[in-house]
Structure 1
Amino acid sequence: MDSLNNPYELSVGVPSVEVFRRLRTDAGLSDKAPEAVALALPNTWHGVVLHHEGEPIGMGRVIGDGGTAFQIVDVCVHPAHQGRALGKRIMAALTEELERRAPATAYVSLIADGPARFLYEKFGFADTATHDSIGMYRVIGGSHGPSGSRAEP
């Protein structure tokens, strides 16, 4: 698309550690330790960064083992740019790559925060609680069950 008509450009890759952390926190997601981000980003199976007039304003990543299990993570758009179907554009790029390269039997999961579930449903994701499984998570150093009350760091 002509950049005069569409000031948004989606590119394949991952942002720097600093930009990754800023995009997450600007979008209301939890911050991650710089050391952890530096370890994580090179292990991205597929990532995209959305730019507005050269400035990174959104991203999304697919992580996984490359064969049987994948997870979509870090999908976010800066609040000043939300409501313009940019999250949909990021998800389309990630799911298209999964459909192109991942084996047909691969399991793709994600955690939907709040109303983001409606975006993910448009790409074929369903609530696991309606099946024989439920999504679960644990933050290392975080809460270890009902008796733990530590919030995510």
Structure 2
Amino acid sequence: MSDDDAGPGLPPGYELRKSTPSVDAFRRLRREAGMTDRSREAVERGLPNTTYGVHVVETEGGTAVGMARIVGDGGSIFHLTDTAVASPHQGRGIGTAMMDALVAWLRANAPDGAYVDLLSDVDGFYERWGFEQTAPGSRAMGIWTEEL
């Protein structure tokens, strides 16, 4: 894939791939984006269960610099997760290109009536695709397995 067809919105020097990154790249990208690391075992188990995923690499060298994926049951619920761009590559349209790819996949593959959600720790990014805060109608809740 050349820079000219690297993907809509991507600057020269990057390529969007329709797959998840390797386990090592996944863990590195989460850390480099300031997100919580996941154990190797958790990532090895989880990545194969991705419904649809993309990652962005530098065309020279093939280093993964961004990733995003969808998990869910493939019919009624789709959860966007692990959207991360390594901090030196942020602000270049990589996150937008990955979200565009995920939304395009959902439009083509998710049935009418399916629910799409995500958890976000950034303001003003996901709204451009129509995502809205659900509180107070609903609220996110979670627990780490060590606390169960």
Q: Percent identity?
A: 42
When Rg is computed on C-alpha atoms for both structures, the one with the higher figure is 1
Cα displacement (A) at 1:135: 2.1
Answering whether residue 68 of structure 2 is matched by residue 56 of structure 1, we say: no
Answering whether residue 32 of structure 2 is matched by residue 17 of structure 1, we say: no
Distance 1:119 1:12, change over 3 A: same
Question: C-alpha distance in 1, partners of 2:141/2:31?
Answer: 23
TM-align CA RMSD: 1.6
Question: C-alpha distance in 2, partners of 1:117/1:91?
Answer: 15
Answering whether residue 108 of structure 2 is matched by residue 103 of structure 1, we say: no
Question: C-alpha distance in 1, partners of 2:134/2:35?
Answer: 22
Quote the residue 1:147 is aligned against: none
Instruction: Provide the secondary structure at the position in 2 that maps to 1:96.
Output: helix
TM-score for both structures, normalised by structure 2: 0.88
Task: Return structure 1 stretches of 4+ with deviation > 6 angstroms.
Answer: none
Question: C-alpha distance in 2, partners of 1:107/1:12?
Answer: 22
Instruction: Provide the secondary structure at the position in 2 that maps to 1:15.
Output: coil
Question: C-alpha distance in 2, partners of 1:140/1:121?
Answer: 31
TM-score for both structures, normalised by structure 1: 0.86
Quote the residue 1:149 is aligned against: none
Listed as ranges, the gaps of 5+ residues in structure 2 are 5-10
1:102-121 equivalence runs, <5 A: 102-113=110-121, 116-121=122-127
Listed as ranges, the gaps of 5+ residues in structure 1 are 145-153
Question: C-alpha distance in 2, partners of 1:30/1:127?
Answer: 22
Cα displacement (A) at 1:2: 4.6
Cα displacement (A) at 1:86: 1.2
Quote the residue 1:27 is aligned against: 33
Whichever residue aligns with residue 129 of structure 1, its letter is A
Quote the residue 1:93 is aligned against: 101
Instruction: Provide the secondary structure at the position in 2 that maps to 1:39.
Output: helix
